[in-house]
Every structure is written in structure tokens, then in C-alpha cells.
Structure 1
Amino acid sequence: MKNQLIGFLFCFWIALSQPFYFHSGEREEKCIIEDIPSETLVIGSYMVQKWDMHEQTFLESAPGLGMYVTITTPTEEVLLSKLYGPQGRFSFTSHISGEHSICLQSNSTRLISFGGSKLRIHLDIRVGEHLIDEVIAQAKDKVNEANFRVEHLIEQIHHISKEQNYQRQREEYFRLTSEQTNSNILWWAFVQTLILILVGIWQIKCLKDFFIAKKLV
């Protein structure tokens, strides 16, 4: 059955470079085959629309419906097997050359797929051509990260420079305050000395006047 499904979708194999869509039952697995060189990046994206019996059209989305994506190598090795949502993006890198199977199946819990319960799956697969873009994007991310780190370091340098300038200002203010304090202490010592001298002279004069008044001199 799976081989028949693969054969059914094999006609889409040539058109994989462009987005396309196909119909599938809710419990039906659909696969495509892609001949991929070794060490090649493959990026796929899909969107699922569910048929509405009342509106007789496909809904814009299929909320609550997930899709199992399974990637199998020519040697039947499973590269990827993961459950995504109604819209998703997957990627893998081929390790060997050959025909790889890309299969999608919904996680619907219905045991029987009725005629009206069909899905429209939009699929876009890019092989190889986005490898350079991916590398460039990673390089840009690294460059952006490096730029961010450089800007952060420059900002830290500016902050340190401002802190040093502030410390210099504080040191200058402290030095001026110390010099002013020392100058004030020196002048206060000079004033105290002058006061002591004046007090001494006044005391001597008072004693002299006292002795003269008492006729002791």
C-alpha cells in the first residue's frame, strides 16, 4: 500500500522545487521520493487544511490536528520521525546519496476515514539551495553575536572610562578639600599663636600696670 502511495505521488517529484499541494485522508499516509546527494541539507515546510462539510470548502487551518513527518534513507534508516502541528517546518541532512522518502500522516484519532474527512496538504521542499543561505544565516548570526559582544565591550569600556573620570574628579575634589583643610588648619594655628602672643603681651602689660600701681616697681 505504501509503495502505491509513493507511486501515486511520484509525479510530483519533478516539481519539488516549487510549492504544491495534494489531498489526503485523515488516516492516510502520503509519501514522496527525492533523489538527494550525500551531505545535502533539505528543508521542508507544510500547512494542513481540513475539509469543512458544512461550508463545502477547506478551512484556512486545522487546529488540533498534527502531522507525523518521517524521513527514510535508501537503506531504510529513519533520519527523522517527529510529530508537528497543523503547520510546521522540518529539516534534515542526507548522509548517503539516493532516494529518500518523505512521508506525512495526520495524527487523527478516527479509525475510519470518511469520504468527507479529507485534508489538503501544502508542501514546499527545498534541496541543497538553502545550504548556502543557512551557512550565511549562521555566519550572520555569528557576526551579529560578535558585533553585540564588541558593542557590549565598547559600552563596558565607556562605562569604565566614565567611572575612572568620576574617580579622578573625586580624587581631585578630595585633594582640594585636603589642601583647603590643611590651609585652614595652618591659618588657625597662626591665629592661635597670634592670640597667645597678644594675650601674653596683654598679661605682661596688666602685670606691669599692677606693679606700678602698687609701687612695687
Structure 2
Amino acid sequence: MLSRYIFLALVLLPFRASAFYFYGYGGDRKCFMKELSKDTLLKGSFNLGVYDDKLEDYPLPSSKDYGMIIDVEEVFDNYHRVVHQQSSPSGDFTFLALESGEYKICFQSQVKNWVGKSKTKLEVEFEVGFEAMLDSKRKETLKTLHGKVNVLNSKVMEIRREQRLVREREESFRDISEHVNSRAMWWTVIQVIVLILICIWQMKRLHSFFIKQKVL
């Protein structure tokens, strides 16, 4: 049910795309600020190029030499980090904003081997809205969200079943306790009656004995 609401909310969102590229060096960290509304889906794609003197261009490096770290932080919540992803030099990521506010999205190139501090070119593109879900990976993301919702629903149902079982056990225990208490009360009443009868009988026996002995 929750996934349907998210789906309908995203359908109403307009599609927005923005692309940037920056020059820097290996290990540099580039950050972007994005204002997102609740339940907005953000798709980010990136491509890291490393300068080659022979080609005089920025081709894609080997994943053995370079990588990329993606972080997403909630600025409105004291920069609480909600995404930390390590990826190859080229790839993408998807993020669903659970709260409205400003988000800080950072990309940091990661030098894995000693290849020197080479010049780099980072190309970044953001897509905000429902259209970012039309490719196959976004469909997989929706399926993942739907699967998580189903898991949560299953856990809720399991908790409800356990609570119902606990209530039934409590009712059974209460009935047994009341039954035992009732029996204990009647047993106490019977004991008191028996003691009274024994006392009366003993008094009569003593009275008869004293009369025979001419004490009374």
C-alpha cells in the first residue's frame, strides 16, 4: 500500500534534469546542494575521466586504478548521512527523499593505486522526478522498495499474530487463575466449616463427660 502511494506521488512530479562537469585532481571531493521535497526520487549519474597526455583527453580510467565514493547528507538534520556508496569511475545511484529539505550530494574520486595525482574531469547529471524510474535499473529500485514494503507488512502481520497469541495466553492464564482462586476460596470455607463442626462436637463431648463426672 505504501509503495502505491509513493508511485502515485512520483507520477505527479515534473521531470527535471541537470548536468555539470568539473576539473580537478585525483582524490578531490565535489559537493552539490539539492532542495528535494518528500518522496522525490533523485537519480545521479557520474563519469570520471583522467587526463591522458598522449590522447590529450580525459578517457575513462580502469576501475583498478580509480573509484568513486558517493555520499548524501541531510543538511536539515545536522548533516546526517543517508547514503554512502563506493562505485566504479562511471555509474549511477538512486536516492528517495524521505523528508523535505536540503540535501548535500558529494562525489569523491578514489585513487586505488599509485598513479600520481592526475588531472580529472568529473561529469555529473541529476534527474529528479518519476521519469528517472523508466529505465530498467529504476524499475529494479521500485521492485526493491515494493519488496521492502512487503517485508515490513509481513513483519507487522507476524507481530499482530504474536500479540494475539499473547492475549489468548493471558486470557487462558486469567481463567485458570480465577478458577484456582475460586477453588482455594471454597476449600478455605470448607475447612472453616469442618473446624467449627469439630469444635461443636468436642464441646458436646466435654459437656457430656463433665455431666457424667458430676462436675456440672
Normalising by structure 1, what TM-score? 0.49
Computing the radius of gyration from Cα coordinates, the structure with the larger value is 1
